[in-house]
Amino acid sequence: MNQRSYLDYNATAPLRLEVREAIGEALHLYGNPSSVHEEGRAARAAIEKARVKVAGLVGASPEDVIFTSGGTEANALALAAQGGQAWHCYLSAVEHPSVLAGGRFYRETTTIIPVTKDGVVDLTVLARELEKHHLGGWRPFVSLMVANNETGAIQPVAEAAAIVHGAHGLLHSDAVQAAGKVRIDLDGLGADMLSLSAHKIGGPKGVGALVLKPGVSVEPLLKGGGQERRRRAGTENVAGIVGFGIAAELAAADLVKADAIGALREALEKGVRALAPDAVILSESVERLPNTSCITVPGAKAETLVIGLDLAGVSVSAGSACSSGKVEASHVLSAMGLAPDIAQGAIRVSLGIGTTSHDIERFLGAYGELIKRLKQSPKAA
């Protein structure tokens, strides 16, 4: 049995062994992929092989995959695409900060679409807002994530796509958290652009992709060389991309494990309820990623829980790990209308392919102790 229980897969997934080996080999491919000689061609071939695998994870065509330095850059590239004067941008209130930053859109031409108390975007508001701007001659650019990183709540992307396309707009969807956890099919989703990140699916950090629907174009953020079909300049991160490809292939094959992960999550939540009947599990009543549980107990402080759990050998995060280090109310929980005293106790437990029932037991044992202490002496929490 492992000495520690890593339950923070939404922050990052452990590097898969096969990925590490493939990266090690790819580091020997020293040729510049843009070079025409043999060494260059070998590096190019490795990239193109990986491109096919990444495209396969989301049902896209390889030529529509643009490799980037990660999910953040993929989001920025998507949002840089249509920042011209004729466009108005709409973002759900629970998007990742890299989307909420707005790319090339100005604050005045950006509208935030609220979510319900379950953290799902309110499509009636989106439709109403689009109607308003459509009359003003704007074209809408909408960004709606496939699933939220903090609560796991799955967003109605296909329904949103129908509304957006009805208004002659474009829809970008951040699929960074959903990829490898639920099946994603670009066509079925209806999105025009999808963001992916390798490290969330067992690949290396610092690699991602923006995947386009055929015929959709982007305005490059990085200009210079002609790499990535002139859509992202810069010599490619060959080894990272190779690792991303292997991780995508493994993630696609491992989708069959989603139900087993969901059963572990169910056991965890049942255990939490037994320990703390007043616990609130966020987005519980809507469709969620099978691996994610965002739990809060009135009076608890997430920071105390995260530290206490860490000391007990369990890794989880408080709200979003992307922004951890700064302890402030998560914008996601605030957008869901959670009172600050409830939101401050929220921890995110996220499972993955390496999670076992021992990990759940270890979590429940440690969490139970911390909650008992809180109930006995509320100030200590």
One-letter amino acid at 192 equals D
Q: If binding is defined by CB under 6 A, does position 98 make contact with ligand PLP?
A: yes
Q: If binding is defined by CB under 6 A, does position 221 make contact with ligand PLP?
A: no
Q: If binding is defined by CB under 6 A, does position 68 make contact with ligand PLP?
A: no
Q: Kindly give the pairing relationship between strand 193-197 and strand 170-174.
A: parallel
Residue 162 CB, nearest approach to ligand PLP (Å): 23
Residue 165 CB, nearest approach to ligand PLP (Å): 23
Q: If binding is defined by CB under 6 A, does position 96 make contact with ligand PLP?
A: yes
Instruction: Count CB atoms within 10 A of the CB of residue 3.
Output: 5
Q: One of 46, 191, 322, 374 is an active-site residue; which one?
A: 322
Tokens of 112: 């935030």
Give the residue with the Cβ less far from ligand PLP, 109 or 173. Answer: 173
Q: If binding is defined by CB under 6 A, does position 228 make contact with ligand PLP?
A: no
- Of 228, 250, 304, the closest CA to residue 67 belongs to 228
Instruction: Count CB atoms within 10 A of the CB of residue 268.
Output: 24
Q: If binding is defined by CB under 6 A, does position 208 make contact with ligand PLP?
A: yes
Q: If binding is defined by CB under 6 A, does position 173 make contact with ligand PLP?
A: no
| Of the candidate residues 82, 143, 149, 350, the single one contacting ligand PLP (CB under 6 A) | 149
Q: Which stretch binds ligand PLP (CB under 6 A): 43-51, 162-170, 173-181, 300-308?
A: 173-181
Instruction: Transcribe 307-320 into DSSP letters.
Output: HHHHHTTEE-EES-
Q: If binding is defined by CB under 6 A, does position 144 make contact with ligand PLP?
A: no
Distance CA 52, CA 11 (A): 26
| Of the candidate residues 322, 333, 347, 349, the single one contacting ligand PLP (CB under 6 A) | 322
Q: For residue 338, count CB atoms less than 10 angstroms from its CB and return exposed for 0-12, middle for 13-18, buried for 19 or more.
A: buried
One-letter amino acid at 128 equals R
Q: If binding is defined by CB under 6 A, does position 291 make contact with ligand PLP?
A: no
Total of residues contacting ligand PLP (CB under 6 A) = 15
- What 8-state DSSP symbol labels residue 85? T
Distance CA 247, CA 353 (A): 13
Residue 67 CB, nearest approach to ligand PLP (Å): 12
Q: If binding is defined by CB under 6 A, does position 102 make contact with ligand PLP?
A: no
45 CB-side CA count, 13 A? 8
| Of the candidate residues 26, 79, 115, 145, the single one contacting ligand PLP (CB under 6 A) | 145
Helix (H/G/I), strand (E/B), else coil: 329? coil
Q: If binding is defined by CB under 6 A, does position 227 make contact with ligand PLP?
A: no
- Of 262, 255, 271, the closest CA to residue 182 belongs to 255
Assess whether 322 carries a catalytic annotation.
yes
- Which residues are CB-contacts of 325 (< 8 A; sequence separation ≥ 6)? none
Residue 357 CB, nearest approach to ligand PLP (Å): 26
| Of the candidate residues 5, 111, 151, 197, the single one contacting ligand PLP (CB under 6 A) | 197
Distance CA 56, CA 186 (A): 10
Catalytic residues: 322
Binding positions for ligand PLP, rule: CB under 6 A: 70-72, 75, 96, 98, 145, 149, 174, 176-177, 197, 199, 208, 322
